[in-house]
Structure 1
């Protein structure tokens, strides 16, 4: 449909032809595309996530890693390999479900709120941050119990089993046992961290959408790499939020560790205990793995997301010819 200037609006399909921008105006399409992209990315990055979680827990539990080990990561990897490489995929099924469901709920809510203009300020970035945070809040309320299941299962090794840690056969087993023993309150233990995560994902989508609006064609150097723009934007959008929020995720992992002096402590107490006894390096334990995961997942997730939308548009347009 022509606008006031006589040009065709990108959000309105011409006869037998649709554009990616038109698809992005439909929340269900973007949500399904982002869900598929998130699940595929998680399948690739799950071993990194498991190593990251175990590195975080080294502040309070050894996992069989010698105290004098020069490289904690190398030593932990060797210990983990005793259980086989696929032991790093423990919690992988749960992670894929969380990723797919999380991205679907988040993207659908964000796009719906954006299109309905629920929040309107003069600052576009401010709007994106608030809408992203609101969408993340909805996602967190629904999926926090599954996130707890994921962390508990990722920490399971032959060493934790030997030391008497609870062993869960999967997400549903964790949810059943926790509800039976601790009630609904137990499922939402550690909610404070995901409360901070609300801001984290708000920042991620705000930065990604803002970077996506930048025109690389204005810069000859960047124009050559236009095809990987979604991946680069996805990677860049994760750096700042990951760096700012990471210490709180470390505190939550330490709280989960079974039968330690921190198991029943509140998260802020664990945060300051770690800062006192392990210093800043303790709060950023495993950060190198998380940064790699964030960069890879940001690039892959948003790259696949955009590629899926492009493929849908191409297939539809070819079929309509």
Structure 2
């Protein structure tokens, strides 16, 4: 009887071992085939950011092109005198396609830029919050507006640096006309031409003012957007927040406010960057010489020199050329980007949001 018990127990043990090994083998094989949840979450976050950037930028493409044309147009040969007149002029001279010239290149740049920016912000804010809690000793501490500003600045610098050559090329394609000294057939042709004729450094003309400008711009975008949302959810003024959730309209308003604050502060650096990109390619700015009738191309040597010459020859207001169409563009663009990002992540089933 005792021997039978031993045999039975041994058999049960053997069967249990075999079952456990089979289950482990199955789990191992499934682990090899299926991506990890973290990897899927990263991919979904990048996709959401890319979609948000493409949708928001295409929606305001005509205003984006007009802004650049206003920034770099010759002050002695004014073609664009404001938003409405400028859009009508483009429509009359170039047709409907002219309103969206350069948008393909713009989306090719903004989609990866937006994907990297949103993802970088989430990672930066998570790490900054971890450091903040560790230093303060408060495990329940939350991100402050200043910490969000820092996380946004990090995200902006990373995204801008990673996609800057595309931005440089996009600017040239946007202002390109039949009279331009060079005719670029597309994104890759422009990149190869600039690289071959002007060298690799030309792809990063205006990078410094771009990085300096992106710190307050992107940083304030994220900080203002999230801080506004938090404030509305906590205080619930006028019944705007219900059950700790904001409506799409309210979130759009938060994004619009964030975009307005950020772009107003950073706009002069955007003008400087654009002018530095156009040096040697198109007579974007000219000065009056001699008797006041002759004109000569205005060349820039660095960020400080561009600031100085722009203010000296065109006045301080030149640093805000194109601000009106840019404001009209930024208000819906930033708003659409934030809300689209959150909505796409909801559709894809990603729990983490920027405000979380």
Question: What is the TM-score with the length of structure 1 in the denominator?
Answer: 0.79
Q: Report the more deviating stretch, 240-249 or 215-224.
A: 215-224
Q: Report the more deviating stretch, 294-303 or 206-215.
A: 206-215
Q: Please say if 1:38 is aligned against 2:62.
A: no
Q: Alpha-carbon deviation of 1:72?
A: 4.3
- Alignment length, in residue pairs? 283
Q: Please say if 1:302 is aligned against 2:322.
A: no
Contact 2:221-2:258 at 8 Å conserved across structures: yes
Q: Alpha-carbon deviation of 1:98?
A: 1.6
- Residue pairs, 1:107-186, within 5 angstroms: 107-117=118-128, 119-120=131-132, 124-157=144-177, 161-162=178-179, 164-186=180-202
Q: Please say if 1:253 is aligned against 2:311.
A: no
SS in 1 for 2:60: helix
Contact 2:256-2:330 at 8 Å conserved across structures: yes
**CA separation of 1:129/1:146 partners in 2, compared to 1, >3 Å: closer, same or farther?**
same
Contact 1:262-1:270 at 8 Å conserved across structures: no
User: Which of 260, 270, 275 pairs up with 2:306?
Assistant: 270
**What residue in structure 2 maps to residue 88 of structure 1?**
99
**Which sections of structure 2, spanning at least 5 residues, go unmatched?**
1-37, 137-142, 287-296, 351-356
User: Which of 188, 193, 202 pairs up with 2:204?
Assistant: 188
- CA distance in 2 between partners of 1:39 and 1:119 (Å): 33
SS in 2 for 1:265: coil
Structure with max Cα Rg? 2
Q: Alpha-carbon deviation of 1:180?
A: 0.8
User: Which of 223, 236, 241 pairs up with 2:262?
Assistant: 241
**What residue in structure 1 maps to residue 353 of structure 2?**
none
Q: Report the more deviating stretch, 130-139 or 71-80.
A: 71-80
**What residue in structure 2 maps to residue 7 of structure 1?**
none
**Which sections of structure 1, spanning at least 5 residues, go unmatched?**
1-22, 315-321
Query: What value does the CA root-mean-square deviation take over the aligned residues?
Result: 2.7
**What residue in structure 1 maps to residue 65 of structure 2?**
50
- CA distance in 2 between partners of 1:193 and 1:119 (Å): 29
Question: What is the TM-score with the length of structure 2 in the denominator?
Answer: 0.72
- CA distance in 1 between partners of 2:75 and 2:127 (Å): 47
